[in-house]
Amino acid sequence: MRLFVLALALAAATPAFASKELAQKNACLACHGIDKKLVGPAFQDVAKKYSGQQDAAATLVKSIKAGGSGKWGPVPMPAQAALSDADAQSLAAWVLTGAK
């Protein structure tokens, strides 16, 4: 039984670790800190801004893939068009949890 509970806990934690690794692999962390602003907003600030919005994930995926400007100051976010839809969705979900 303990092994089963441990396996469930690890399975639940995997997406968060995978998303942080995905953020590192795609250089997201070069501009975004988890809990502090760098060039772009902190992921935790993004999560707060979109908290409670039903279309938050779709909006964030669109911003990741197409880029954007004017939402967080004068520096535009470059489009990440080469990122797969699945990876963009994974990153958006991770960011919306506060990058935990």
Whether residue 6 is predicted with pLDDT greater than 70 in this model: the reply is no
* 42 located within any domain: yes
* 6 located within any domain: no
Which tokens hold the place of 91?
Answer: 């990153």
* 21 located within any domain: yes
Which tokens hold the place of 72?
Answer: 């967080």
* 89 located within any domain: yes
CA distance linking residue 51 with residue 37, whole number of Å: 18
Query: Which CATH number goes with the domain that contains 28?
Result: 1.10.760.10
- pTM of the full structure: 0.80
* 65 located within any domain: yes
3-class secondary structure, 37: strand
Domain tally, the chain? 1
* 32 located within any domain: yes
**What range does the domain containing 29 cover?**
14-96
pLDDT in tens, 37-81: 999 999 999 999 999 999 999 999 999 999 999 989 999 999 999
